[in-house]
Amino acid sequence: MQVTASQKPVAKKTWRLSNNLWILYLISILIGIAIWTYAAYSDSRNLLPPPLTVLNKFIELWNNGTLLENTVASVQRVLIGFTLGVLLAIPVGFLMGWYTIARGVVEPWVQFLRTIPPIALSPLVIIFMGIGELPKIFLIFMAVFLGSSIATFQGVRNVDVTLIKAAQVLGAKDATIFRAVVVPAAFPYILVGMRISLGSAWGTLVAAELIAAQTGLGQMMQGAALYFQVPTIMVGIIMIGVLGTVMDRIVLYLEGRLTSWQEKKA
């Protein structure tokens, strides 16, 4: 397909904005590292390790296999809990948004549980599920499910009523309206809910790995805290942040591809 002259400036402008944004990202990261370095060398108690010390600890933990083993365990837990939570949250959110009865029955419990920190559920989870992998995944699942179901519900409730009435005037049945109007309109909300829930999943991970975990970044950090190994704790924190950011970028990329029909601000 031939690109028209009017499309070329838009593409060029988008490319420039994207490049400028990455430059700002890089500058922001460098400033953050500089502030960290200054704070580390200004700390008279030597509690905060400088970036180079943390980098050396990262290399050490990676070479002896400790970091890789713990990273794989944590990523596996997050992915399983996140996937199960989203798969259940989407239909539940649609039901709450589309059917008054479902909303009346389910929403109070979703809202109630959403206010409870996952770590507060740990004692009950241990009693009923033991100390294996299941309770850890369940806590992550709960954090993801509650956030994603609310986002999906809100997406359905915010569908433009004019679109629904227009479809009804054209003779569309409820099933057609739901599939052709409601689902596409709610989809951006679902993806935003997934991004927020992904953050909740990683935030819940450390609490979940309090439950007698043998491996995992949270477990590694807790073990390091007992022996005051601050560089190891910093490595764990940075790994969680990097992994969470990468997964968030993947969801953001999918959002851009799947909602390309939407008019977006440059």
Domain coordinates in residue numbering, the chain: 1-47, 49-258
Q: What is the mean pLDDT of residues 123-142?
A: 88
Per-residue pLDDT of 162-217, as tens digits, reads 877 788 787 777 778 878 888 888 888 888 899 899 988 988 888 888 777 788 99
> In this model, does residue 71 exceed pLDDT 70?
yes
Contact present, 143 and 193 (Cβ < 8 Å):
no
Per-residue pLDDT of 96-124, as tens digits, reads 988 889 889 999 999 898 888 877 888 88
DSSP-assigned letter for residue 64 = T
Q: Which residues contact 200 (CB under 8 A, 6 or more apart)?
A: 143, 144, 147
Residues 107-128: b if buried by 16+ CB within 10 A, e if exposed: beebeeeeeeebeebbeebeee
Give the CATH superfamily of 49-258.
MetI-like (1.10.3720.10)
Could you tell me the two tokens for 199?
Answer: 């953050």
Q: How far is CA 18 from CA 10, 25, 86, in A?
A: 12, 11, 30
Contact present, 186 and 159 (Cβ < 8 Å):
yes
The amino acid sitting at 239 is M
Closest CA to 94 of 51, 137, 155, 34: 155
Q: Which residues contact 191 (CB under 8 A, 6 or more apart)?
A: 251, 254, 255, 258, 259
Could you tell me the two tokens for 55?
Answer: 């980098």
Cα Rg, the chain, nearest whole Å: 23
The position carrying tokens 């709610």 is: 186
pLDDT at res. 180: 81
pLDDT at res. 1: 45
The amino acid sitting at 165 is K
Better pLDDT: 204 or 265: 204
The amino acid sitting at 122 is S
Could you tell me the two tokens for 171?
Answer: 């003779």
Euclidean distance between CA atoms 221 and 22, whole angstroms: 31
- pTM score, two decimals? 0.82
Better pLDDT: 4 or 180: 180
pLDDT at res. 17: 56
Residue 13's pLDDT band, with cuts at 50, 70 and 90, is low
Euclidean distance between CA atoms 211 and 131, whole angstroms: 6
> In this model, does residue 8 exceed pLDDT 90?
no
Euclidean distance between CA atoms 140 and 121, whole angstroms: 11
Residue 22's pLDDT band, with cuts at 50, 70 and 90, is confident
Closest CA to 146 of 183, 95, 100, 200: 200
> In this model, does residue 3 exceed pLDDT 60?
no
DSSP-assigned letter for residue 4 = P
Q: What is the mean pLDDT of residues 22-51?
A: 89
The amino acid sitting at 190 is I
